[in-house]
Structures are given as structure tokens and as C-alpha cells.
């Protein structure tokens, strides 16, 4: 397994729309394991392949306190949405920035697991938020893009300054 580099907003590669995974083969299984290791080391609870500059429809999540219950979603599609909820979100690609985002309260998703088997899952609460957040990455969207242009510009300026200070 390997740690992958996480892209940071406003990197343009985060706006790349991910392609459908045509076959769950060893390359995808290795990607899943590398993404899981990268997510846990960050530390985070979710990661989309887009965030590690792999533009395929793969998401890993682990909401367990022990970080030992990995959930894998390959080619995820939301097939049902219900209600509305506002939650504070953060992102490994936008370190140190948190803000409120409105999303569906409950969703039903269809995807493949790491073995290539199709499944459906109903989710609400934090799981629903995380799935929707990571699926946005697959569509080339970062959570801060739900915020006002003023907030987006402030975040870009802050993150660019942080990058300059580390060079």
C-alpha cells in the first residue's frame, strides 16, 4: 500500500469529472487500499479518487471511531433523495476550512463494492452527508463551491497564502 498525494483547493484538477470504472480489477483494488490508507493517515473519514488525482468513480469512507469499517463505493449513483439537512462540512482538499452546506437528509445509493458486486444502500445523517460530499468530488465540485463567491475568494486567498508560507 502507498500514501497518495491529496490535491488541495483551488487546484484545477479537482474540477475534473471522473470516468466510470469499466472493470473492478486488481488496479482498482490497489487504488481502494491506497486511498483508504491515505484517508486514514490524513486523518479523514472520506476520500474520492479525484482528490488523489485519479479521475475514476471511486469513493472510500470509514466513519467508525476505530477506522476499521471501510466502505467502498465504485460508480456510485444516487437513486433517491429525501428531505433537506444543513451540516457543517470540512474536506481533506480544503484543510482547516469548515462551513455549513445544505444536502439531502436521506439518500438511496447504488454502487459496486471492492469486489465488483452491485449493492444498494439507504443512508442518512453523517453517512448521507459524506456520500454526497464525496460524490460531488467525482463531478468536479468541492464543497466550498456551495458557499458565496465572497467566502470562496477568501478561502482561495487563505489557502494560497498558506502554500506560499510553506515554500
Q: Indicate the length of the chain as a whole number.
A: 167
Catalytic residue among 66, 124, 134, 165: 134
- Please, are residues 58 and 21 in contact by the beta-carbon 8 Å criterion? yes
Residue 48, all three cell numbers: 474520492
Torsion of CA 20, 24, 30, 36, to 10 degrees: 60
* 84 classed as catalytic: no
H-helix segments, the chain:
26-41, 125-138, 149-166
Residue 77, all three cell numbers: 449513483
> Which residues are identified as catalytic?
134
Amino acid at each position: 500500500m502507498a500514501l497518495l498525494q491529496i490535491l488541495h483547493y483551488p487546484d484545477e484538477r479537482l474540477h475534473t469529472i471522473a470516468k466510470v470504472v469499466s472493470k473492478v480489477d486488481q488496479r482498482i483494488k490497489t487504488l481502494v487500499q491506497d486511498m483508504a490508507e491515505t484517508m486514514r493517515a490524513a486523518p479523514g473519514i472520506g476520500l474520492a479518487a479525484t482528490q488523489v488525482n485519479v479521475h475514476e468513480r471511486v469513493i472510500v469512507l470509514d466513519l467508525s471511531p476505530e477506522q476499521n469499517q471501510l466502505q467502498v463505493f465504485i460508480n456510485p449513483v444516487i437513486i433517491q433523495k429525501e428531505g433537506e439537512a444543513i451540516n457543517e462540512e470540512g474536506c481533506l482538499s480544503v484543510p482547516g476550512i469548515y462551513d455549513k452546506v445544505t444536502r439531502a437528509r436521506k439518500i438511496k445509493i447504488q454502487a459496486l463494492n471492492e469486489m465488483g458486486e452491485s449493492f444498494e444502500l439507504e443512508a442518512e445523517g453523517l453517512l448521507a452527508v459524506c456520500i454526497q460530499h464525496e460524490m460531488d468530488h467525482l463531478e468536479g465540485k468541492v464543497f466550498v463551491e456551495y458557499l458565496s463567491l465572497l467566502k470562496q475568494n477568501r478561502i482561495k486567498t487563505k489557502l494560497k497564502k498558506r502554500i506560499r508560507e510553506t515554500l
